[in-house]
Homo-oligomer: A and B are copies of this chain.
Amino acid sequence: MGKKITIYDLAKKLNVSPATVSRSLNDHPSISKKTKEKIIDAAKSLGYRTNKFAANLSQQKSNTIGVIVPRLNSNFMSTVLAGIEKVANDVGYNLIISQSLESAEKEVLNAKTLYDSGVDALMISLAYGTENFDHLTTFIDRKIPLLFFDRVFDLPNCPTILIDNEAAGYEATEHLINQGCTNILHIAGGLKRNVYCQRFKGYKRALEKYGITFKEDNLVEVDLDLSRVPEVITHIKESDPKIDGLFVANDTFAVHCIKELKKEGYNIPQDIKVMGFNNDPVSEVISPNLSTMDYPGYKMGVLAGQSIIGHLNGAINLQSANQITLRHTLIIRESTQK
């Protein structure tokens, strides 16, 4: 069933030119309603499908947006992606998604591939280790819109979309302090990335504000892989004076810290109060429920998608919407109760 049928076939069959067919199919205004209908009907009944390769080649655009994320299988990222996919799909854009797996090298490769694939725009959330941005400036040089979300970097004319991680870090820490914590350990992800670096800054600012001196020992920078939980636990057990508050840069890691701490005989929140970050579903499942910072992933995806698509359509003025900051919300649950 089904040879591939082209606009030439249609043209021949209907005794019109290929151009007329093309124009009709693209709803070009200068074609009479009559012929347009005739052609569209014929196209439908013959099962015509436009060949995107040819259209892309001719137009030099692909209706495709590239996305690079650190990993697909995290609740936050897949939620963001769901948002992006939703808006992209609604307006007829395809998404090519690839993951850097937190490797700067793979990120470079991914970017190259997407560039070669002719994506009309690129959205990226950076890997832990990325320090060089040549793989991204390529896009800028070629005027391909580039947008950062969540794990961002300031590159000229590139919109970013994120939350105010510094403020959120501050609020989280302040909350712990208000609950009576005086010796708060902060578990951060890679400090090269804004999200972790800013949360840490917020943490420090809160300490200062409340007259608590920051100790280097109270900062642990890990890659937040769960295999690193034990060393954190050890760190806590060996801390002197005792740690009485824990501010972890993501919920998954926080939850597993709680599990281990409980095994070690700690009472949460009596002995140690714990704050997470992300409002991941697990935060509501752990007992005690984890206090956390709500982080609107889906919305972030939707806005990122709208922003880039708006830009592609020339609708949004890039300058004017160069940074979107989403609202975060402190969510107080059992794990930090006095």
Contact = CB atoms under 8 A, between A and B. Distances in A.
A72 B81 contact: yes
B97 A85 contact: yes
Nearest to A259: B285
Interface residues of A, number: 53
A262 to B, nearest CB: 9
Interface in A40-96: 49-54, 56-57, 60, 62, 64, 71-75, 77-79, 81-82, 85-86, 89, 92, 94-96
A338 B82 CA distance: 41
A52 B116 contact: yes
A142 interface: yes
Nearest to A142: B2
Contacts of A71: 82
Nearest to A262: B287
Contacts of A259: 284-285
A285 B78 CA distance: 20
B57 A85 contact: no
Copies in the complex: 2
A252 interface: yes
A281 interface: yes
B75 A73 contact: yes
Contacts of A79: 72-73
Contacts of A60: 53
Nearest to A47: B138
Contact of A57 (B51, B74, B252): B51
A79 to B, nearest CB: 4
Contacts of A92: 113
Given A1-B141, A73-B82, A97 B99 contact: no
A230 to B, nearest CB: 16
A146 B18 CA distance: 32
A207 interface: no
B78 A74 contact: yes
Nearest to A50: B116
A252 B281 CA distance: 9
A50 B57 CA distance: 12
A147 to B, nearest CB: 18
B98 A85 contact: yes
A53 B50 contact: no
A115 interface: yes
A60 B54 CA distance: 10
A154 B237 CA distance: 56
B98 A96 contact: no
Contact of A53 (B1, B56, B74, B282): B56
5 contacts: A51-B57, A52-B118, A73-B78, A75-B75, A282-B285
Given A72-B81, A94-B117, A282-B282, 18 more contacts: A49-B116, A51-B118, A52-B117, A52-B118, A53-B53, A53-B62, A53-B118, A64-B117, A72-B72, A72-B79, A73-B298, A89-B110, A89-B113, A94-B113, A95-B96, A97-B97, A255-B285, A259-B284
Closest 5 interchain pairs by CB?
A53-B57, A78-B78, A73-B78, A53-B56, A1-B141
